[in-house]
């Protein structure tokens, strides 16, 4: 199965510090590892939940476990970096969305979110825009709705499919 994996600069896993081989070599989770300790990746629709510095296409092998916002397999390999990823462009998209929320529902809170997004990185901008969606729309579902919009933006901007 082909999926996507966000990594830190240098193909390093952000949570474990594992340096992924970029030559296509397979990486396996330890067989004795507890459930949840496999190789994690995400489908396009969940990209916005895991934004990092580098985006990679990854091939997963073995039984795939479905999680709420990610998938897990016993082994995987990097296929190639998505070089079109532009964090600044994504922050601008999140800013535009948040400015739209502030225009629809002018409040001090939303104005503060607009100001904040101008100072943060891409993962934080995605989160702030999602919180702003909740503030503007008044429903908890607005958070996941905004994450879905962000994933569609990423898919189009990065020409993922």
Find tokens 């994450």 and name the residue.
147
Q: Which domain holds residue 113?
A: 87-157
Residues 44 and 14 in one domain: yes
pLDDT of residue 86: 98
Q: Residue 39 gets which letter from DSSP? A: E
Question: What percent of the chain is modeled with pLDDT above 70?
Answer: 99
Q: HSE-up of 113 (CA within 13 Å, CB side)?
A: 28
Contact 145/72 with Cβ under 8 angstroms? Answer: no
- The domain boundary, picked from 25, 48, 81, lies at 81
pLDDT, tens only, 60-73: 999 999 999 999 99
> pLDDT by residue (tens digit) across 13-33?
999 999 999 999 999 988 876
Q: What is the pLDDT of residue 35?
A: 72
Residue 30 has what pLDDT?
83
Helix axes 122-137, 141-157, angle to 10 degrees: 140
* Residue where a domain stops, chosen among 32, 49, 81: 81
Alpha carbon distance 132, 117 (integer Å): 10
pLDDT of residue 17: 95
| Separation of alpha carbons 68 and 89, rounded Å | 27
What are the residue ranges in the chain where pLDDT is below 70? 33-34
């Amino acid at each position: 199965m082909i999926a996507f994996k966000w990594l830190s600069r240098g193909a390093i896993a952000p949570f474990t510090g594992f340096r992924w081989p970029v030559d296509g070599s397979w990486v396996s989770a330890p067989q004795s590892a507890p459930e949840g300790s496999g190789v994690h990746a995400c489908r396009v629709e969940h990209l916005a939940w895991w934004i990092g510095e580098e985006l990679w296409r990854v091939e997963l092998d073995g039984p795939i476990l479905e999680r709420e916002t990610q998938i897990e397999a016993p082994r995987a390999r990097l296929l190639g970096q998505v070089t079109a990823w532009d964090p600044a462009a994504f922050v601008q998209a999140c800013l535009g969305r948040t400015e739209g929320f502030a225009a629809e529902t002018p409040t001090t809170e939303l104005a503060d979110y607009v100001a904040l997004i101008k100072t943060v990185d891409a993962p934080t901008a995605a989160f702030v825009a999602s919180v702003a969606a909740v503030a503007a729309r008044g429903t908890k579902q607005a958070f996941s709705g905004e994450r879905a919009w962000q994933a569609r933006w990423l898919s189009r901007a990065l020409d993922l499919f």
